[in-house]
Amino acid sequence: MRFFAVLLVTVFLWGEAGAAPRSPRPEAGIGILFIRPPPADRDGGSPLVVLYREPGVSRIGEWRAASLPLLSLPAEEGGGIPVAVMAKRGAWFRVAYDDAGRSGWVEGERVWSFLPWDEYLKGKGIRLLPGLRKPYYILRAGPVDHAPELRTLSPENSLRVIEVAGDRARVILDLAVMGWLSWRDEDGRLLVGVR
């Protein structure tokens, strides 16, 4: 009997451990850095980035841009690997270098471009991500939680961003209904995917 109990517990634990954990939604940060290879190195390889603990001080190491946690965004004209920027100081950008959220500073290059989220999202088509808490699927009349509810959305709804105000975006649904929703949560993680 004891053998079967141990076997049952082992199978249960193995099943839990064998299940693929849900990957966390990416952190949004303050904007997006599109990392491109220098013009002389356009062989299709991923650019090499050097990360520091503070801007220009205490080098952490070198990473290929494609190995950094990337945002799932449509291809930008002229290429570029999209990376979330957590902070900016002059020409320096703080980016995550692993999925645990550890970060470092990288010096921007002339061929790279940075866009704050409000500039990037304006005019873009978005969809809410699946598996969010119910309040995130509510389209509201204003940019606050207590604004009247207009409609409950789903991940299948196509939305167009009109403007961004903080963590909220004013969107148009089916060219007929305009309202507000959260595009990132209280923890700074994305709630939407960009088409």
103/171 same-domain check = no
Residue 81 pLDDT class (50, 70, 90 cuts): confident
Q: Is the pLDDT of residue 3 over 70?
A: no
Same domain for 126 and 95: no
Q: Domain for residue 7, yes or no?
A: no
Radius of gyration, CA atoms only, the chain: 21
Inside any domain, residue 129: yes
Same domain, 108 and 180: no
182 lies in some domain: yes
Confidence of residue 77 (pLDDT cuts 50, 70, 90): low
Assign residue 36 the CATH number of its domain: 2.30.30
Check whether 153 has a pLDDT greater than 90.
yes
| Structural domain boundaries, residue 178 | 122-194
Please check whether residues 42 and 66 belong to one and the same domain. Answer: yes
Per-residue pLDDT tens over the stretch 95-152: 988 877 789 999 988 888 999 999 999 999 999 999 999 999 999 999 999 999 999 9
Check whether residue 127 and residue 177 sit in a common domain: yes
- Distance between CA atoms of residues 180 and 150, nearest Å: 9
Instruction: With respect to residue 134, please indicate whether it lies within any of the assigned structural domains.
Output: yes
CATH number, position 170: 2.30.30.40
The predicted pLDDT at position 76 comes to 63
Range of 6-15, 41-50, 62-71, 128-137 with top mean pLDDT: 128-137
Q: Is the pLDDT of residue 67 over 50?
A: yes
For residue 20, being part of any structural domain is answered with no
Domain boundary among 99, 117, 135: 117
pLDDT > 70? residue 17? no
Residues 109 and 151 in one domain: no
The last residue of a domain, from among 65, 84, 117: 117
In terms of domains, do 161 and 190 share one?
yes
Q: Are residues 105 and 130 in the same domain?
A: no
What distance in Å separates the CA atoms of residue 132 and residue 190, rounded to the nearest whole number? 10
Residue 23 in any domain: the answer is no
- Asked if 71 and 96 sit in the same domain, the reply is yes
Q: Residues 112, 127: one domain?
A: no
Predicted pLDDT at 41: 55
- Between CA 151 and CA 171 the distance in angstroms is 12
Distances, alpha carbon 175 to alpha carbons 22, 133, 138, 151, 157, in Å: 34, 25, 17, 14, 12
Query: Does 52 share its domain with 100?
Result: yes
Q: What are phi and psi of 165, to 5 degrees?
A: -130, 100
Domains in the chain, number: 2
* Domain match, 107 and 38 both: yes
85, 117, 149 — which closes off a domain?
A: 117
